[in-house]
Chains A and B, each alone.
Chain A
Amino acid sequence: MKTSRRGFVGGASALAVFSGTTAAFSQKKYSDGASDTEIKIGHTGPYSGPASSYGQIGKTLEAYWKSVNDAGGVKGRKIKFLTLDDGYNPAKIVELTRQLVEQEKVLCLFNTLGTANNTAIHRYMNQKKVPQLYVATGASKWGKPKEFPWTMGFQPDYHTEGVVYAKHILANVKDPKIGVLMQNDDYGKDYWEGFKEGLGKESGKVVKHVTFEVTDPTVDSQIIQLKDSGANVFFNIATPKAAAQAIRKAADIGWKPVQYLNNVSASVGSVMKPAGLENSQGIITAQYLKDPTDKQWENTDDFKAWVAWMDKWMPGANKADANHVFGFAVASLMHETLKKCGDELTRENVMRQAANFQKYKLPLLLPGITINTSPTDFYPIQSVQLARFKGESWDLFGDVMSAEGS
Chain B
Amino acid sequence: MASTSKKWVLGIVVLAFVVPLLKPIFPDAISDYRLFLVSTMIIASIAVLGLNLLTGFNGQFSLGHGAFYAVGAYTAAVLMDQLSVPYWATIPAAAIVCFIVGYLFGLPALKLEGHYLALATFALALAVPQILKYKWLEGLTGGVQGIVLNKPEVPFGLPLSEDQWLYYFCLVVMVILFWAAANMLNSRSGRAMMAIRDQYMAADTMGIDTALYKTVTFGISAAYTGIAGALSASAIAFVAPDSFNIFLSIKFLIGLVVGGIGSLTGSVIGGIFYVLVDNSAQALSQFVKNDLGLPFDLSAYTVFGVLLIAIIYLMPMGIAGGLFMAWRKIRGAR
Contact = CB atoms under 8 A, between A and B. Distances in A.
B280 A103 contact: no
Contacts of B160: none
Interface of chain A: mostly helix, strand, loop or mixed: helix
B265 interface: no
B145 A115 contact: yes
B81 interface: no
A134 interface: no
Interface stretch (A70-78, A90-98, A355-363, A367-375): A90-98
B300 interface: yes
> How many of chain B's residues touch chain A, expressed as a range?
35 or more
> How many of chain A's residues touch chain B, expressed as a range?
35 or more
A301 interface: no
B238 A186 contact: no
Nearest to B29: A4
Interface string B275-300: 00001101110110001000000011
A6 B33 contact: no
Contacts of B40: 95
Nearest to B135: A184
Contacts of B284: 2
Interface string B112-138: 000000000000000000100101000
A92 B238 CA distance: 11
Contacts of A120: 146, 148, 236, 238, 240
Contacts, number: 95
Nearest to A66: B290
Contacts of A1: 280
A22 interface: no
A85 interface: yes
A28 to B, nearest CB: 25
Contact of A90 (B32, B130, B238, B283): B238
Nearest to A95: B40
Nearest to B291: A9
B287 A186 contact: no
Contact of B240 (A3, A49, A95, A119): A119
A122 B236 CA distance: 12
Nearest to B73: A91
A192 interface: no
Given A3-B283, A85-B282, A90 B240 contact: yes
A9 B287 contact: yes
B301 interface: yes
A49 to B, nearest CB: 7
B144 A116 contact: yes
A123 B237 contact: yes
Given A47-B300, A99-B33, A186-B145, 16 more contacts: A2-B284, A49-B247, A84-B282, A85-B282, A89-B247, A90-B242, A91-B243, A94-B237, A94-B238, A95-B40, A95-B279, A102-B33, A117-B242, A120-B238, A123-B237, A185-B143
30 contacts: A1-B280, A2-B283, A3-B283, A5-B287, A6-B287, A47-B300, A49-B247, A85-B299, A87-B247, A88-B242, A89-B247, A90-B146, A90-B238, A90-B243, A91-B232, A91-B236, A95-B37, A95-B236, A98-B33, A99-B33, A99-B279, A102-B33, A115-B145, A116-B242, A117-B242, A119-B148, A119-B238, A120-B146, A120-B236, A185-B133
Interface of B: 31-33, 36-37, 40, 130, 133, 135, 143-146, 148, 232, 236-240, 242-243, 245, 247, 279-280, 282-284, 286-287, 291, 299-301
Closest A-B pairs by Cβ, 3 of them: A102-B33, A91-B243, A120-B238
Interface of A: 1-3, 5-6, 9, 13, 47-50, 84-85, 87-92, 94-95, 98-99, 102-103, 115-117, 119-120, 122-124, 184-186, 213, 215
